[in-house]
């Protein structure tokens, strides 16, 4: 199977948070051990071996798994920050595993699969995957996408800034409160609502531009940057998921409305505090 060319191991990524090997430990001093944990779930050993080695070479801690059961056990014992999940696993459909992840854990999720059908991609994104990569893939591109998901999940440098300097940017709209610093969406009663990294980023853009029609290209650029591809349907999928979480009637949305041929608009007024 082709993975793309030009990849190399041994370079440590600046995006991975790392810990140096202590002097005098008897271990080599050049390698670093990342505190960012990635789980690769694929039943093809050549893929897990190659991808695992590549990610370790870029400073990540990696767990290589072949089944959904093994992943569930890992989620309890040593939860990863990001899961790279194949859909064609033995014993359990990968989409069912993705759904279970989203119901019980908050971690990055990138589907990496040979299923290139548009329906599978839409379903995967609907379930809550942060990204969807089809095989064969280029190792450098997959690494870039993994880093992008991790950046959206974590504050800068992986650590929250001191409380005195943390901007408490909060937006109130239509009975909802979005706390940007805490990355939390709550009802007016304080009940939290789980959002994926992509959903949160999209909602942040919308609440910062209330009453304005925002094109899909603008929203893609704000949430995915250089990752955005022509005809990318990610925004439409994420808007659909946000409507099911925000709207009293997702079929008749009053908060996020479509403007035919133009994009989307956040309709209610937004209070910033």
The hierarchical CATH code for the domain 170-268 is: 1.10.10.10
CA-to-CA distance for 230 and 244, rounded, in angstroms?
26
* Residue 186 near residue 157, CB atoms below 8 Å: no
Q: What are residue 259's DSSP bridge partners?
A: 263
pLDDT tens digit string along 56-65? 999 999 999 9
In degrees and rounded to multiples of 5, residue 16 shows phi and psi of -85, 135
Q: What angle do CA 115, 119, 122 make, to 5 degrees?
A: 100
Q: Which residues contact residue 83 at a Cβ distance below 8 angstroms, ignoring those fewer than 6 apart?
A: 38, 39, 41, 71, 101, 107, 108, 109, 110
pTM reported for the whole predicted model: 0.56
**Which among 262, 128, 130, 268 is positioned nearest to 207, based on CA atoms?**
268
Residues in the chain: 273
**Which among 246, 243, 239 is positioned nearest to 223, based on CA atoms?**
239
DSSP 105: -
> Which of the residues in the chain have pLDDT under 50?
1-15, 17-34, 156-167, 226
pLDDT tens digit string along 64-103? 999 988 998 998 888 999 999 998 887 778 888 998 888 7
Burial class, 228, CB count within 10 angstroms (exposed 0-12 / middle 13-18 / buried 19+)? middle
Q: Looking at residue 31, what is its pLDDT?
A: 43
**Which among 97, 98, 86, 96 is positioned nearest to 129, based on CA atoms?**
98
Q: Looking at residue 142, what is its pLDDT?
A: 93
Rounded to whole angstroms, what are the CA distances from 198 to 68, 99, 128, 220, 252?
Answer: 24, 16, 9, 10, 23
Q: Looking at residue 17, what is its pLDDT?
A: 45
Do 18-154 and 170-268 have matching folds?
no
Q: Return the domain boundaries, the chain.
A: 18-154, 170-268
Q: Which residues contact residue 3 at a Cβ distance below 8 angstroms, ignoring those fewer than 6 apart?
A: 50, 51, 136, 137, 138, 139
**Which among 32, 37, 62, 35 is positioned nearest to 49, based on CA atoms?**
62
Torsion angle (degrees, nearest 10) of CA 53, 58, 64, 66? -80
The two structure tokens encoding residue 188: 């007016």
Q: Looking at residue 11, what is its pLDDT?
A: 29
The hierarchical CATH code for the domain 18-154 is: 3.40.50.2300
CA-to-CA distance for 1 and 219, rounded, in angstroms?
34
Q: What angle do CA 46, 48, 49 make, to 5 degrees?
A: 65
The two structure tokens encoding residue 246: 């925000």
* Residue 74 near residue 40, CB atoms below 8 Å: no
Q: Is 37 helix (H, G, I), strand (E, B) or coil?
A: strand
Q: Looking at residue 229, what is its pLDDT?
A: 56
């Amino acid at each position: 199977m082709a993975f793309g060319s030009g990849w190399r191991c041994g370079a440590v990524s600046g995006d991975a948070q790392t810990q140096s090997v202590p002097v005098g430990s008897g271990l080599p001093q050049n390698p670093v051990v990342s505190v960012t944990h990635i789980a690769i779930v694929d039943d093809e050993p050549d893929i897990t071996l190659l991808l695992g080695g590549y990610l370790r070479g870029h400073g990540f801690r990696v767990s290589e798994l072949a089944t959904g059961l093994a992943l569930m056990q890992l989620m309890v014992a040593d939860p990863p920050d990001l899961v790279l999940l194949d859909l064609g696993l033995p014993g359990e459909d990968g989409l069912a595993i993705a759904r279970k992840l989203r119901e019980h854990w908050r971690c990055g999720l990138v589907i990496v699969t040979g299923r290139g059908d548009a329906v599978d991609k839409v379903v995967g994104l609907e379930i809550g995957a942060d990204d969807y990569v089809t095989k064969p893939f280029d190792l450098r591109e997959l690494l870039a996408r993994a880093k992008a998901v991790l950046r959206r999940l974590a504050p800068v440098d992986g650590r929250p800034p001191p409380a005195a300097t943390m901007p408490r940017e909060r937006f109130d709209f239509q009975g909802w409160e979005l706390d940007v610093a805490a990355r939390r969406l709550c009802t007016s009663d304080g009940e939290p609502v789980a959002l994926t990294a992509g959903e949160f980023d999209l909602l942040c853009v919308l609440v910062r531009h209330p009453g304005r029609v925002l094109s899909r290209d603008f929203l893609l650029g704000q949430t995915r940057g250089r990752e955005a591809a022509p005809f990318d349907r990610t925004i439409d999928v994420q808007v659909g998921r946000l409507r099911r979480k925000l709207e009293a009637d997702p079929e008749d949305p009053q908060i996020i409305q479509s403007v035919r041929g133009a994009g989307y608009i956040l309709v209610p007024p937004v209070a910033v505090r």
